Amino acid sequence: MDREKIEYHIRGLLEAVGEDPEREGLIDTPKRVAGMLEEMLEGIQYSNHEISEMFGKTFSAENSGASEAVVMKDITVFSYCEHHLALMYDMYVNVAYIPHGKVLGLSKIARICDMAAKRLQLQERLGRDIAEIISEAAGTPDVGVKIVGSHSCMTARGIRNPSARTETRTYTGEFKNRRDLQELLD
């Protein structure tokens, strides 16, 4: 990321909304925002393949006791909507996959979800990205992802409906056709 460019544009944004970027509370705001964006949008610098390689530590499925499916629920993430740069928050991700010879370390599943969310995103794409990364990292075509979250572009602006929640589901492989597998995500 180009921190210097971000700082320049944040200063211009402050001026454009009628603020004085030289007032005490705003002097370091461009620098702070650049640092925040670098952290919050870290995932932009990595492809799905690179995230799979970063967090693809696996173990033998035979030694893990995983027989039918591995399920991890309530992984908390947040992201930013690419349409309004608005926060997508209170997001919970449920992931399930059928091992094909190997299983991912459990913390790696949460790390994959977190890194995929650290991009300008759409919730639908986030589910597809997570499924693609899990599939590659675990070596399985059978992945299900459910995401439920709030979008500040719905809750704080526009319609201003604070109770609106969005749910998306992504199914690959066996998850597309098997209701019993889909129910693991509930």
> Among the options 9, 38, 42, 84, which is catalytic?
84
Per the annotation, the verdict on 24 as an active-site residue is no
> Among the options 81, 100, 136, 182, which is catalytic?
81
Per the annotation, the verdict on 153 as an active-site residue is yes
Alpha-carbon gap, residue 117 to 1, rounded angstroms: 17
What residues have CB less than 8 Å from 107, skipping those under 6 apart?
none
Per the annotation, the verdict on 42 as an active-site residue is no
Alpha-carbon gap, residue 12 to 33, rounded angstroms: 13
> Among the options 83, 124, 167, 183, which is catalytic?
83
> Among the options 82, 124, 167, 183, which is catalytic?
82
> Among the options 121, 123, 132, 174, which is catalytic?
123
Tokens of 129: 């990205």
Per the annotation, the verdict on 151 as an active-site residue is yes
Q: Contact, 175 vs 143, CB < 8 A? A: yes
Q: Contact, 122 vs 129, CB < 8 A? A: no
Phi, psi (degrees; rounded to nearest 5) at 80: -125, 130
Per the annotation, the verdict on 182 as an active-site residue is no
Per the annotation, the verdict on 123 as an active-site residue is yes
> Among the options 7, 113, 151, 174, which is catalytic?
151
Opening angle at CA 179, ends 102 and 96, nearest 5: 30
Per the annotation, the verdict on 113 as an active-site residue is no
Catalytic machinery residues: 81-84, 123, 151, 153
